[in-house]
Amino acid sequence: MKVISHLSANEKVIALTFDDGPNEPYTSQILDILKKFNIKATFFPVGENIIRNKNILKKIFANGHIIGNHSYSHSMLAPILSPSYKNEIIKTQELIFNIIGQKPIFFRPPWLFRTKAMLKTAENNNLQIVTGTFGSYFEVLGTSPEKIARNTLRKIKPSMILIFHDGYNNKIANRKNTVEAIKIIIPSLIEKGYKFTLPK
């Protein structure tokens, strides 16, 4: 099964993606930034976080962004106990469909970890695997906005799918520094001539 790890275009384009939400107020703050710059992104929410933030999932969808599947629990044990990941994937597909009326077409495995059985489950549910490049390995730890932005901008190349986090696993988390970093990263990329698009 093909895995989308970067965009097919050879132009100066970037895809922004956000994992582990919805997580307030940070998901809404990111939505406001994207709206300001007229950018569409892809959000990969976690089922247990969706349960707490159903209206925010609706808001993401209403703002024209893509909603993917990032598992139900984001548990590190889940792919070990159930290599097919069937319950994690299908339960999240159904949850998202019941809220926005559409099933995701993209699946991003937690930590980008994949098994053959998991890939088969995704394929059986008409899901395309989307990975990408972490904007900054330190971002998930909540390091300073300047460091997140600096590490991201240092590695930028055309056609990247960038991974950031508006949440953390299946928990409530402080993502203030990610929000502030995005405020630095987007204008910097625009100044460098980059445009923003969605994975295909």
Set 19, 20, 70, 74: catalytic member: 19
User: pLDDT tens-digit profile of 10-33?
Assistant: 889 999 999 999 999 999 999 999
Domain that holds residue 115: 3-197
Cα distance between residue 13 and residue 36, in whole Å:
18
User: Could you tell me the CA-to-CA distances from 62 to 66, 100, 158 in Å, in that order?
Assistant: 10, 9, 28
The total of structural domains in the chain comes to 1
Is 20 in the active site?
A: no
The CATH number of residue 123's host domain is: 3.20.20.370
The per-residue pLDDT for range 29-54, each reduced to its tens digit, is: 999 999 999 999 999 999 999 999 99
Tell me the pLDDT of the chain (200 aa) as tens digits.
789 999 988 889 999 999 999 999 999 999 999 999 999 999 999 999 999 999 999 999 999 999 999 999 999 888 888 888 999 999 999 999 999 999 999 999 999 999 999 999 999 999 999 999 999 998 988 899 999 999 999 999 999 999 999 999 999 999 999 999 999 999 999 999 999 999 98
Nearest-angstrom CA–CA distance, 107 and 124: 12
3-state secondary structure the chain: CCEECECCCCCCEEEEEEECCCCCCHHHHHHHHHHHCCCCCEEECCHHHHHHCHHHHHHHHHCCCEECECCCCCCCCHHHHCCCCHHHHHHHHHHHHHHHCCCCCEECCHHHCCCHHHHHHHHHCCCEEECCEECCCCHHHCCCHHHHHHHHHHHCCCCEEEEEECCECCECCCCHHHHHHHHHHHHHHHHCCCEEECCC
Does residue 19 have an active-site annotation? yes
Catalytic residue from among 20, 65, 165, 166: 165
Check: pTM over 0.95? Answer yes or no: yes
Q: How many CA atoms lie within 13 A of 53 on its CB side?
A: 25
The token pair at 149 is 């932005």
